[in-house]
Every structure is written in C-alpha cells, then in structure tokens.
Amino acid sequence: MAWKVIKSEKDLKNLLLNESLLSLGNGYLGVRGNFEEGYTEDAKTIRGTYLNAFHDETEIKYGERLHGFPLTQQKVLNVIDGQSVDIYIGDERFSLFEGEVLEFERSLHMDRGFAERFIRWRSPEGLETKLHFRRLVSFTVKELFAINIRVEPVNHSEPVTFVSTVDGDVSNYVDVNDPRLASGHSKRLNVTDVRHEHGLSIVRDMAMITNLEVACVTATAVEAGAYIFASHSTDTSVQETYECEGGEAVTFTKFNAYTDTLRHGNALVETGIAIQNLQRDTKFNDLLRAQREYLDHFWSVSDVEIDGDAELQEGIRFSLYQLLQSVGKDPFSNISAKGLSGEGYEGHYFWDTEIYMLPVFLMTQPAIAKNLLLHRYSILENAKMRARVMGHEKGALFPWRTITGPESSAYFPAGTAQYHISADIAYSYIQYYLVTKDEELLRNEMAEVLFETARLWIEVGHMQDGQFRIDSVTGPDEYTCIVNNNYYTNVMAKHNLAWAVKVYRYLEREDDKQLRKLEKKTRLEKHEVTDWQEAAENMFLPYDEKLKINEQDDSFLRKKRWDLGNTPKEKFPLLLHYHPLTLYRYQVLKQADTVLAHFLLEDEESIETIRNSYDYYEELTTHDSSLSYCVYGIMASKLGYKDKAYSYFKETARLDLDNIHGNTKDGLHMASMGGTWLSIVSGFGGLRVKEDGLSLAPWLPENWNGLGFRLRFQDRLIKVRVEQNRIIYTLIEGKDLTITHHGRELLLESGRETVIHRNGSMQKALI
C-alpha cells in the first residue's frame, strides 16, 4: 500500500510541480521529472539535471558593499542534458501537446526506485500508439541515469524513429521576482568536448569560474526487428538516430554516466567510458533489480507504517524516499534545502541538515549521518576563516548557506547573523555521539568542532552583571532579525559550551595524548575551558515574569503584535509583500524559534514555561517557512494538544504532495520531509535522546489503527508499534537495553517483545 505516487491528469497543468515530485536521485545525481520528448515553446517547465555540490561561483552585486560581505556566491548548476529522446511515428513527431492523449499516467515507485509514464496517443493523422517510459537514477552505480522506452503500434505499422540527444548547451533557471530563486547568472557552463566514439556519445562541460568539469558519456541500445543507425554531432551536442522497422513493439534504452572533477579527478571521460564498459551487458531490468534490492534493505529499517490513513502513509514514505534520493553519501556533499529536485536556494546547505534531516538518518542509517558530520568537518577551516572576517580572533562561524565552505549568503540579517548554525552543528555531533557512542569521532572531529564553536560564543558574547549575553544575532525566526539574547541561540550556545567542557574533561581523563595533540593543533589555552564553563553556567536565558514565558529575545515583547487574523490570505508569505523592516518591527514569526529550542533542549525549562510559550508564540506564527509546522506539531504532542499535533502533522506530511506552499515547482522542501519523520517519531513517538539514554512516550491519533517505526540506537535495532490499546517494543538486534517509557524505566530484552497494555499491564514474549 502507498508505495506509488501517481499523477494522471491529462491536462498537463501541473508540469512544474510534477517535475519536482517525480524527480529521481541518489544523493550524487538528480534529474527532474521532465518529458524525454520535450514540450511546446510556451510550456512552463524547468529541465534539470544536477550533481550534488557541482557548482560555479557568481558575483554578488550590492548597492553598498560593506566589510565582510561575501563577494561571490556558489550556485549548483544544471548540467548536461541526457534526458532528451524525440520519437517519430512515421513522419509525425510524438508530443503530448499535439494529437490526442487517450490515456496518461505517471508514477514514482518508492519501493522499486524508478519512475514511469504510460501513454496511449493518437497522432494528428490518426495513428494510435502506446508508449511506456521508465527511468531510474541508480543507487548502486551512482553515475548512472537510465531511460527505457517501449513503443507499441496499435493501428499502424509505421517505422518508429528515436532521436536521442546529449546536450551540453544548458542554463540554470531564473526568476527575477522571487528572492528564493537566483536572478541573473543563468549560463555558467561552456562545452569543451563533443564526440561520438566507440558507439558512445561524449559531452564535456566546464564551469566558467570554478573550472569544475562534468562529463556525460552515453550508451544506447534498441530492441527492434531491423533498424538504421546514424550519429551526428554539433558544437554542443551529440545526436544518435535509430530508425526502426514498424509493425512490432520496439524498445530503446539510454544509459547516461555522469562524472565530475570533484569525485573523478581529471579523467572524467575515461571514467565515464570505463563505467559504460563495465555496464555493457547490463540490461535495464538488471538495474531495476539492483534498485529493488537496495531499497528493500533501506525500507527494512527506515519504513514508517501508518494504519488507517493512506494519504499520510504516502506522505511519510514520500518524505523518506526523497530524503534518501537527496542526501550526499560522499565526502564532497551534504543535503541541500531542495535536495536534487530543483534549483531553489541554489543547492545550498543550511542548518536544515542538522536540525531537521540528520536526525532521521542518525536513528535509521547512522553511516549517512556520519558522512554529513564529516562534511561539516571538511569545511571547518572555512568556518574559522569566516570567523576572522567577522572580527573574531578565535573560533569557527559556520556559513549560513554554502556548498564547499564559503559563506554564500548575501542578506546578512537573515543570513550570516544566524550564528546559531554553529551551535546546531555542535548539537548534532552531540546527538550523534549519544546515539552511536562513536568514541573515535568524539576524540577527533567532534572535539575539535566543539572547541572551535565554543570559542565563537566567547568571542560574540560577553559577561555583564554576572550573566553571559549574546548580542546582535538572528535566531531561526527570520521575521525578527539582529536581536540581543535570542533565547534559541543562547540556550543552544549554552549546550555547545557545556559539552565542549565535558569533552575536554573527558579527554583529560581518558586520552591525554589526544588532548595534547588537539591543544597543539587548535592552540587551545587552559583558561579558555574555564571561560566556556563560566559562560555556560551563567548563560542569560530571557524569561518574562508576567507572561511566564521565555522571551524570544530582549526586545520581542516590547514590539507591537502583528494582526494575523486580519491579514488577507494573499499577503502570505509576508516576506513577499512587506519590507523586512516592517516585519522586524512587529511580534510576528516566520517559523518556530523558542518553541524549537524547547523541543531540542526540553530540560532547560519547566513544563509550564514550555506550555505558556507555546500558547503565546503559536498565535504569532505564520509558518511562512516550511520548517515550522513540524516543530509545533512535535511540541503539541508533548503538551497533550492532540488535535493540534495531528493537524500540524497533516500540513507537514503532504506539504509538497499537495503543494501547500505553492512553490514545490522550485524543488522539494527537504527540511519539512525530515520534519515529517520527526513529527511521527519525536512527536507521536515522543523520542528524545539524552545523556541518560533513549526515551519514548508513544501515543496514537484517534483515527489511526496503528503506527510502526524502527530505530537504531547503540548497536541495537528496536521496533516500536503503537496501537490504540497497547504499545509493543521489539528488540530485534543487540543487547538488552533500558529505556524510558512515558517517564518510567523499561527493560527491553534482546530478541523479545515487550507489550504494554492500556491498563498498564505488561507482557514479554519471544519473537
């Protein structure tokens, strides 16, 4: 059930939206769900193929450029187009925009790893033909994108001709009216090589500034009675033509291998050819089999089952599948805000990774989470350099948005000023350690990242009247910028500082040699550790006595409240209709801020403060950012606001499938996809990971029959099943483990099921 996303509108109204929804990827290579045969001139479509982290640099133009503003911005590139295949039935070119579409259905198979399109088409001359397109981006050979097309005549025996193109003349998409999309700089790649050699089409492009190169080496094959083959190259593309005898069904397959200089060095074309040679005897069906195997393995741990709501079931599976398709699995890449499904936010990595997406991988596929952490470590030097530019003598300030490390944010109040990203990264290292107990990482990368980020807080904050205060930063809420003592930032910095001390002391006790090595490398002085401790212990956390809430920052409650009830619907998102200063002058939130801090670090405040704060901020939150609903949903679960928890979950789980924000065309909202999982596992499941271990507090929305998910924790695999009358924990792999269940200790025994009934009785059974 619900393994397939199906789109069957024949009117082709939602081309752009469906291109994002039906995009394919494997973390390295991503392709939008475009039509192989193309469109009409005026059709609105974004034809896109992307390689994670493959980018160019563009100049940022400022009216007034002040000190420390980044001069350039990185931008992921739309690379060589290997999607195109024109199909002729006799002399008529197949197009969904001409003739008559008698049947049409597209789908994405999330259990089998491919997308397909079924069409029955009547040409303007009345020839009827069935066409079946299948495509996949391989999870096992990351360079491969394959297309398979079967054409079957219904009422004719005309020849069928396939014209397959590999085109290096490509540009990025621009929309001058939307700040979330780039403006200008659309053409960034030059074609440097075009050849047809050894039966392969070869196209190579180079980015204008970074000189990064990409190649596409393509092999094709037909299955037909008889055919005539020809190839033809222009300055920028290679074309292959197969004219096949008519009367019978014919099949055409295209295997594109994408290589780039980041991963494959300079021998791009040679590597592409080698991949094709290795795949020479591989058929499309073999690739499909490998996809299935890979996905069986993935879903055996990652699947979440919702019994009783097919739409939400589709929403969570779609989210998990898209997360898998988007997440970088090599040292060069992370996971961008839109994954590999579109050009929104220019392929940049944000805090979205650490706070919204990494937790999903951490609890299900920890090796992927580790790779994300190591990617951050690989840009630590950039973060240190950025801190110097920002006037800090020590420490690391991670870029608000980047691909390979340099800050790419042009609007500093909602960009660089979000210093919290450094604490967010520290937080995710700590979570990773608590879940995996990976000592190796703790002693090396984690210790260094924690020390360098702790130093940043000492640089940016100061002690006053016995309190450690942090001025002029922006918290997660981008409608309230450059403030003093943002609660979220301060409490996350406190955690960062306290853990830096903890890790330092731990190394002092356990591994003095390693500590000395790190001290030498980072030139750490003893007094710094005392400073961290003092700052953590005295961190100022704003609290309003009258409202009994954590104030979002020093001045938030003194501002006028925005009247959300009387703001016309068409004025949302506010950022597209009001000058930033207007927004900054009001109590109005783009997204969860203090409420998010209460989720991440719930033990810092009493439940009353958490509840009062939730009630207060919820009324002022627009959820104009897709990162918001899930947080309010998770905290609604904690506070027992069951209806709210459920309705926020619904907004999150189908945000893209139902195009709730209206901009899914620019790419999927990956953080919200992570948020969908968090809403279930941390929301309905109540999962928290703290120093004292794993805790859960599951409950089930009343219109569901059951909920099931699995978690990896310290070499164990735990299955959680929640039903209306009972909760079942199964320790599938690993040693006995004591967890906290609704506030009480519970021993899970290896290979056994623990059943807790609604009336409190408990049973244990072998599995």
**Contact of 65 with 300, CB cutoff 8 Å:** no
- The minimum distance between CB 590 and ligand BGC, in angstroms, equals 6
Peptide bond into 399 cis (omega under 30): no
Nearer Cβ to ligand BGC (96/671): 671
Between 518 and 630, CB nearer to ligand BGC = 630
- For ligand BGC, give the closer residue by CB, 333 or 591: 591
Q: Is there a contact between 598 and 615 (Cβ–Cβ < 8 Å)?
A: no
287 belongs to the binding site for ligand BGC (CB under 6 A) = no
- Size of residue set near ligand BGC by CB under 6 A: 12
Judging by beta carbons within 10 Å of its beta carbon (0-12, 13-18, 19+), is residue 228 exposed, middle or buried? exposed
Query: Candidates 228-236, 289-297, 347-355, 385-393 — which segment interacts with ligand BGC by CB under 6 A?
Result: 347-355
Q: Is 590 in the site for ligand BGC (CB under 6 A)?
A: yes
Q: Which is nearer to ligand BGC, 339 or 686 (CB)?
A: 339
Report the DSSP beta bridge partners of residue 50: 30, 78
Residue among 17, 403, 671, 689 that touches ligand BGC (CB under 6 A): 671
Catalytic residue among 478, 528, 605, 723: 478
Q: Which is nearer to ligand BGC, 449 or 627 (CB)?
A: 627
> For residues 124 and 179, which CB has a smaller minimum distance to ligand BGC in the complex?
179
- What track of x and - describes contact with ligand BGC for positions 737 through 756 (by CB under 6 A)? --------------------
Q: Give 593 or 753: the residue with its C-beta nearer to ligand BGC.
A: 593
Interface residue with ligand BGC among 50, 252, 345, 614 (CB under 6 A) is 345
Q: Measured from the CB of residue 461, what is the shortest distance to ligand BGC in angstroms?
A: 22
- Measured from the CB atom, the residue of 319 and 625 that comes closer to ligand BGC is 625
What is the distance, to the nearest Å, from the Cα of residue 6 to the centroid of all Cα atoms in its chain? Answer: 22
Closest CA to 79 of 160, 220, 189: 189
Q: Determine, following the binding rule CB under 6 A, whether residue 337 of this chain makes contact with ligand BGC.
A: yes
Q: Tell me how far, at minimum, the Cβ of 554 lies from ligand BGC, in Å.
A: 21
Name 603's Cβ contacts closer than 8 Å, sequence gap at least 6: 690
Length of the chain, in residues: 767
* Distance of closest approach, residue 378 Cβ to ligand BGC, in angstroms: 20
Q: Any contact of residue 627 with ligand BGC (CB under 6 A)?
A: yes
Strands 752-757 and 72-78, by their bridges, are unpaired
Decide: is 593 part of the binding site for ligand BGC (CB under 6 A).
no
| Token reading at 238 | 């290679």
For 320, residues 6+ apart whose C-beta sits below 8 A from its C-beta are 302, 303, 304, 360, 673, 677
Per-residue DSSP letters for 37-86?
T---TT------EEEEEEEEEEEPP-SSPPTT--SEEEEEEE--B---EE
Minimum CB separation of residue 174 from ligand BGC in Å reads 19
Least CB distance to ligand BGC at residue 658 (A): 19
> Is residue 352 a contact point for ligand BGC (CB under 6 A)?
yes
Contacts within 8 Å (CB) and 24+ apart, 660-664:
661/573, 661/626, 663/178, 663/180, 663/344, 664/17, 664/20, 664/21
Residue 356 lies near ligand BGC (rule: CB under 6 A) = no
Q: Is 142 in the site for ligand BGC (CB under 6 A)?
A: no
- In whole angstroms, the minimum distance from the beta carbon of 260 to ligand BGC comes to 24
Tokens 């859960």 sit on residue: 696
**Residue for token digits 């003349």?**
169
For position 591 contacting ligand BGC by CB under 6 A, the verdict is: yes
Number of neighbours of residue 611 by Cβ within 10 angstroms:
19
623 belongs to the binding site for ligand BGC (CB under 6 A):
no
- Residue 81 touches ligand BGC, criterion: CB under 6 A: no
DSSP helix/strand/coil, 587: strand
Of residues 47-66, those binding ligand BGC (CB under 6 A): none
Q: Which of 625, 652, 664, 676 binds ligand BGC (CB under 6 A)?
A: 625
Interface region with ligand BGC, contact rule CB under 6 A, candidates 6-14, 61-69, 170-178, 343-351: 343-351
- Annotate 375-413 with DSSP letters as a single string: HHHHTHHHHHHHHHHTT-SSS----SSBSSSS---S-GG
Q: How far is the CB of 342 from ligand BGC (least distance, A)?
A: 12
Residues 6+ apart with CB under 8 A from 716: 731, 732, 733, 734, 735, 737
Least CB distance to ligand BGC at residue 627 (A): 5
The neighbouring-strand residues paired with 642 are none
Quote the least distance from Cβ 638 to ligand BGC, whole Å.
22
- Chain centre to alpha carbon of residue 738: 32
CA dihedral 600, 601, 607, 609 (to 10 degrees): -100
Contact between 80 and ligand BGC by CB under 6 A: the answer reads no
Contacting residue, 57, 158, 478, 651, with ligand BGC by CB under 6 A: 478
Q: Interface with ligand BGC by CB under 6 A: which range of 87-95, 350-358, 369-377, 697-705?
A: 350-358
Indicate whether 350 belongs to the interface with ligand BGC (CB under 6 A): yes
Edge-to-edge strand list for the sheet holding 29-31: 24-25, 29-31, 49-59, 72-78
The smaller minimum CB distance to ligand BGC, of residues 23 and 279, is found at 23
Specify whether 478 is catalytic: yes
Contact 479, 577 (CB under 8 A): no
Contact positions vs ligand BGC (CB under 6 A): 337, 345, 350-352, 476, 478, 590-591, 625, 627, 671
Active site residues: 478
